[in-house]
Amino acid sequence: MYRQVCLSAVIGLLLLVSCNEQKEHTAAAIRDRDSVALMTTYGVNTLISDSGVIKYRIVSEQWEINQNRNPSLWLFEKGVFLEQFDEKFHVQSYIQCDTAYYYDKKRLWELRGRVRILTKDGLRFASEQLYWDESQHEIWSNVFSRLTTPERQLQGAYFRSDEKMTKYFVSNTKGSFEKGDMMKEEDDAERAKKDSVLMIRRPQAVPRERTNTTIPSVRK
C-alpha cells in the first residue's frame, strides 16, 4: 500500500513537471502591420506610365511599396531621381531629392531634403520640401525656396507653379531682378553721367549782338 502511494505521488510529480516544461511562451499578436511592405526593390531604374503614356523615369537605390499604411504609399528613403516626360516622350525636367513619398491613391508626391529641379528651359529650383499633385498638375512648397531662370532670380517663403514650371508664383520674396531691366538702368545711368560730364567741359554759349547785318559788296 505504501509503495502504491509513493508510485502515485511520483507519477503526479512527473506529470506536473512535464506540463510545466511544455508551456509555450508566445508574444502578443501583431496588430499594427505598417512596418510590413508589399514590395522592396533595390537598384531601381524603371519607367512609370499612366493610361499607356510614359510619365517619368524613376532611379533610386531603394523603392518600397507599402499598401498596409493608411494612406498607402511608395517610399524612397534613400533618395530618388526623376525624369519627367511629355506626351511625345521628350524630357521636360529633372527632379531629385534625398527622400520621397508617393501617395498612390492621392497621386501626390512629397519630396524632402535638398529638392532640386532643372527644366528644359534652364529654370532651376531649390528647396528643402516640395509637393507635386499629379491630378491637379500643380507643385508647391511651404518653406524657403529659390527659383533661378536665365532672366530672373526669386526666393521666398511660399512657392506654387504648374507641373511644367512655366507659370509660377513666389510670395514673401527676398529678392528679384530682371537682367534686361538692370542693364537698361545701368545704361541710362551711364548715359546721364556722360551727359553731365560734357555739360561741365563744354562752355555755355553766350548770345552776342551782331554789328553788321549787311552782305559786303564785291569790288571789281
Ramachandran quadrant class, 142 (left: phi over 0; alpha: psi -120 to 50; beta: rest)? alpha
Residue 133, domain member (yes or no) = yes
Residue 155, domain member (yes or no) = yes
Residue 215, domain member (yes or no) = no
Which residues 6+ apart lie within 8 Å of 96 measured at CB? 79, 80, 81, 82, 114, 115, 116
Q: Give pLDDT, residue 104.
A: 92
Residue 55, domain member (yes or no) = yes
Long-range contact pairs involving 90-98 (C-beta distance under 8 Å, separation at least 24) = 90/120, 91/120, 92/119, 92/120, 92/164, 93/117, 93/118, 93/119, 93/120, 93/164, 93/165, 94/118, 97/130
Q: Give pLDDT, residue 49.
A: 87
Q: Give pLDDT, residue 186.
A: 44
Q: Give pLDDT, residue 184.
A: 41
Cell triple for residue 8? 502515485
Domains in the chain: how many in total?
1
Residue 218, domain member (yes or no) = no
Tabulate helix, strand, coil % of the chain (nearest 5). 20, 45, 35
> Which pLDDT tens digit goes with each residue over 168-198?
999 877 655 444 443 444 444 455 455 444 4
CA separation for the pair 186, 84 (Å, rounded): 39
* Residue 220 pLDDT > 70: no
Contact, 174 vs 155, CB < 8 A? Answer: yes
Question: Which domain CATH number covers 47?
Answer: 2.60.450.10
Query: Mapping DSSP to helix (H, G, I), strand (E, B) and coil, where does residue 152 land?
Result: strand
Q: What is the mean pLDDT of residues 53-61?
A: 93
Residue 116, domain member (yes or no) = yes
Residue 207, domain member (yes or no) = no
Q: Give pLDDT, residue 167.
A: 92
Contact, 188 vs 196, CB < 8 A? Answer: no
Contact, 112 vs 129, CB < 8 A? Answer: yes
Beta strands in the chain (DSSP E): 39-50, 53-66, 73-76, 80-85, 91-97, 99-103, 108-119, 124-133, 138-141, 145-148, 152-156, 158-162, 168-171, 175-178
> Which pLDDT tens digit goes with each residue over 12-51?
555 555 555 555 555 555 555 556 777 899 999 999 888 8
Residue 193, domain member (yes or no) = no
**Could you tell me the sign of the dihedral formed by the alpha carbons of 34, 40, 45, 48, in that order?**
negative
> Which pLDDT tens digit goes with each residue over 85-136?
988 889 999 999 999 999 999 999 999 999 999 999 999 999 999 999 999 9
Q: Give pLDDT, residue 182.
A: 36
- The residue ranking higher by pLDDT, 52 or 140, is 140
Q: Give pLDDT, residue 147.
A: 93
Q: What range defines the domain where residue 89 resides?
A: 39-180
